[in-house]
Structure 1
């Protein structure tokens, strides 16, 4: 049996106000093409199909299209809710669409009730473990603990109990949305920590042929049988060096026979670059970044005027601009003491100087006029 492991679609997400729906639609095209060309038997989606509990209509439409196209390929789909999804909304009518081979699993109480797949070697039990918010999931799991480790441990135990009652040789796949110890996070995952702890031990996933994980956005291998597929697109600049991928997992009679990486299309790369404005605008080494979404850090000792406008003349997809002046000293710790005793205009001028450069005469006049207008308005109240 051949499985395709993917996760963290985050349909409806934008990237620094850039619409990603077209890029997400291209991913769906690539997903369906891979299913067809690689003769995939089942697709597992390890959570976060949507980016938020109330996704926009276009995102819902794209998700519906993706699932319908997969059903038309006659592959089974097992998808779980992630921490960004609304379990109730994603799981609506799940019982009705099971007949189409699309299995949406969002209820923690059903983790011991697998989706059963069949090949010539017999049964493959797929245990779908949706994102488990400890305080709300513990009751459904009969768990006394209030941590991620406690609820995922209870869910894994329920799955192993079911597996132990099945025929010898039954292969097993657990699909879960969690932060497993050893995984490398990026800046785009939402924090799920409880009491300051978010990671769960890797050994909670022992006893299964394969663990298809979601939540972390980089494709990574925690153990030969435990993997994150990562998100299909970069959702933060911290992912600039990640190769977006899905995993093709082959199961034989004994378990996992092999895992192959499938690289996904990159509609526009993300990158970070730093330097002085003049160097960025003239250095030929930066030509390869002209079509990338960019986070730019300027190191000029004085903040250049109209920096973003000038950058976009060469890098039209520059999205984020930061300043880190070269040779600048670390800011003094007690800012309140530095402005103590200064009048309002002096405080404002000190702020302008600290974040940019000293105000010129026109700016001083404008600030003085604004402060006087505010004082007049307050006197009327």
Structure 2
């Protein structure tokens, strides 16, 4: 039997405020083509189908079209819910959907109800374990003292092994968890609420293959325990990832082979650094013009309306920060301010976030400091104070 292992579609997710549904729809079409090319018998999706428990209507439409493309290949589909999904919403109509080859496993009661498929070697049981929140799952699993993910997943796997003992056959578990030894990419939502979030790989012993979801980088925890990673990169920390799915082969004796199939890059991610003029003119950055771009600007003075300027060249620029150069790298804040007068520290702060304060602005800083310590005030010329107020407001709004 040939299984395609994928996870973490996160349909409806935005990337720094940019909608990704078109990119996600293209990625799902790529998966459907891989199913055809690999002659896969079943596609498993290990949770986080959606990015939120109440997905937007457009995300549901992309989900529906993506499933239709995969189903048109003739493959069966097994889906579990992740920590971003609503188990009830995702699992709606599960009995009816199963008749068309879509098998939804989103509840604790379905853990011991595997999808049983068959190939020329006999039956294969595919068990779906949805994301289990310890505070709620422990009651249904009848382990009231459980507080950690390891405890509730251990109890779920005990049920899987007990059921498997009644029907000895090859087996696959599809689960959503954070396994010890894996590395997070930074774009995952923590699942630590309710107890310790990690579980040991040994928790999943006794089955032929474990298809994991939750972490967004493809990873091998053990030969038979793997993360496929997310459908697309969802943070700039994933820009070097090669997004992929696993093609899993089962023979008569169990796991025979696992190999990756890379997903085509829908849109690249680039992190650029330099002055605004360098980023807009340097030919070295030509390859990033169609990427999602985050830019760190190193101009001596914060450029005005930098994002608008960047999008003239990088139309998919999504994030820009300004890092004032020569701020004493390697020197901590305490050393930088030690022995300096308060007025000088405040003036340096204004210079760091904007530019150097002018004489009238420095007079206002001195006046404010005197008010704080209760010293007699000295007059600041009305014209200079008014100029400071107006100038600061204009610069902040810019």
TM-score, structure 1 length as denominator? 0.88
Determine if contact 1:184/1:216 at 8 Å carries over to the other structure.
Answer: yes
Paired with 2:142 and 2:345, the residues of 1 have a C-alpha distance of 59
1:368 aligns with 389
Instruction: Name the counterpart of 2:150.
Output: 149
Alignment of 1:136-215 (within 5 A): 136-143=136-143, 144-167=145-168, 170-194=169-193, 197-215=196-214
**1:269-348 alignment runs, 5 A limit:** 269-329=268-328, 332=333
Match of 1:100, SS state, is coil
Aligned pair partner of 1:358 in 334, 356, 364:
356
Provide, for residues 159-189 of structure 1, a one-character-per-residue CA deviation record: whole Å limited to 9, x for no partner.
Answer: 111112223xx11101001111111111211
Classify 1:309/1:129 alpha carbon distance in 2 versus 1 (closer, same or farther; 3 Å).
same
Report how far residue 56 of structure 1 moved. Answer: 0.7
SS in 2 for 1:294: strand
Cα distance per residue 1:248-287 (max 9 Å; x no partner): 1111011111112111122210121223334333433222
Q: Residues 299-334 of structure 1: CA distance to partner in whole angstroms, max 9, x if unpaired?
A: 334433333333333322221112333331356359
Where do 5+ consecutive residues of structure 2 fail to align? 362-384, 394-398
- Pairwise CA distance, 1:139: 1.2
Q: Matched residue of 2:99: which SS?
A: helix
Change (3 A) 1:340 1:198: farther
Counting matched residue pairs gives 367
Q: Which residue of 2 aligns with 1:246?
A: 245
The equivalent residue for 1:232 is 231
Match of 2:375 in 1: none
RMSD (CA atoms): 2.8
The residue aligned with 1:263 is 262
Runs of 5+ unmatched residues, structure 1 = 373-381
Secondary structure of 2:333 counterpart: coil
2:124 aligns to what?
Answer: 124
Q: Tell me by how many angstroms 1:365 deviates.
A: 4.3
Asked if 1 retains the 8 angstrom alpha-carbon contact of 2:113 and 2:127, the reply is yes
Offset of residue 340 of structure 1: 11
For the 8 Å contact 2:147–2:194, the answer to whether it is kept is no
